[in-house]
Structure 1
Amino acid sequence: MKKLNKCVFVLFLITGFMLTSCSSDDSNENTAEESTGDYWPTAVGNQWVLDQNGSESVMKIVSSEKINDDTYFKFDQFAGVGEEVSGGATVSIKKVKGDYYIKLNDIVFNSEGITGKITGYEFILLKDYLEANQTWTGSFSQETSYNIPNFPNIKMTSKYTGTILEKGVTATIKGVSYKDVIKFKIHQESKVEGEGAVSVDTEYWVAKDVGIIRSKTGDSVSELTSYIKK
């Protein structure tokens, strides 16, 4: 059981850089206010190349999809690979006024011969109209199933808090100065029944009309080296 639950938590950690089926976000998008700028430009063909601890990582928007009245823009890759667990998920972004949502589809994983699926989720990454020190909160649940006959599904509940740390500042990344930057943090806590809670803090820097320029989770740092905006 501990090995199986550990799989869940490792997958939570490797997908932390970023986030509907059986899961849901209780945030209310009706509270969204007008955007103060475009802090993650969404158009098919937009691309961000990041230096992640010495390794190149590329995020590119490859398609868009209309779901109800919302348009989601899908990235070509947003996968995590850990020492004990490997898994990948399709990740999309949508914007509702000044609210930026990240949506992960179901994750299929393989760990030490155990395969399974974790239901996807959606959460608010950023509210660009908030001022420094203002916050937003939300929660969602995920269910994990395994390829083991008669083994019960495991439910994980997560709560998160976003905080604007700085707004309208200039940040220099890889020798390039970016103006109109918002720095914010996402604190996420997740818990599986019978296990202790696991928490992850990720800081993000996003520049107006550019998008993501830096992120930091623990010792893992990603910094923008180049970008293409259509």
Structure 2
Amino acid sequence: MIERGHPQVSIVRQCELLKVSRSSVYYIPRERCQEDLELMYLIDQQHLETPYYGSRKMRVHLQHKGHPVNRKRVQRMMRTMGIQAVYPRPRTSIPGDGHKVYPYLLKGLRIDRPNQVWATDISYLPLARGFMYLIAIIDWHSRKVLSWRVSNTMDTDFCVDALEEALQRHGTPEIFNTDQGVQFTSEAFTGVLKEQGIRISMDGKGCYHDNIFVERLWRSVKYECWVSKHKPEGRYELNLPRTLSKRRSE
């Protein structure tokens, strides 16, 4: 929009009228160095093989290839290339009409012992033809998977079965946190918690980070532990981790 060499309006005045800085007019973009191009090529290759890699794992991959780069540089290059970790997820948390929703009790709470807080969520496992639903219950302190169930329907029964198994094998928690899905707000599920004297906590609407440790578990399960290898007898193999490492979610 700047007309250089205008006989009446100088470049300074044109910049004032367009409300742009003069430095942006004279700026010449610098070409990317050969090293950046090589790193971007490696990132693109690895992303095609492991689309679940974020900037942290991509940095580790590049370091194993002999390129000592930091995470911020990897983030900038991935952003430039339009690459990000893949997280497909259908809508599994559907609220139930008329069901009671409980407040979120974990905000600012210091969790420093086992059986203080348990949490659960439902995700899905992709198959060759459709998918199955998976529920897992974990301990927030140890990140241990206490129990899990797989079902081909989004009913409440397999959620209650997983809850009763966890209670039978690992004792009783002080607080149990879920989302606002119809399975967890149902009387069948909350009734089991009330009978055991467990305080019920529920995530805020649309606040996935309120249950971030279970969300991080799904990342590990679906992209690292789920072996989508079709068996001759038509079965799939699930290697569910017993614990989840204590580090921040990517």
Q: TM-score, normalised by structure 1?
A: 0.26
Choose between structure 1 and 2 for higher RCO, CA contacts under 8 A separated by at least 6 residues.
Answer: 1
**Greater share of helix residues, 1 or 2?**
2
Larger radius of gyration between Structure 1 and Structure 2: 2
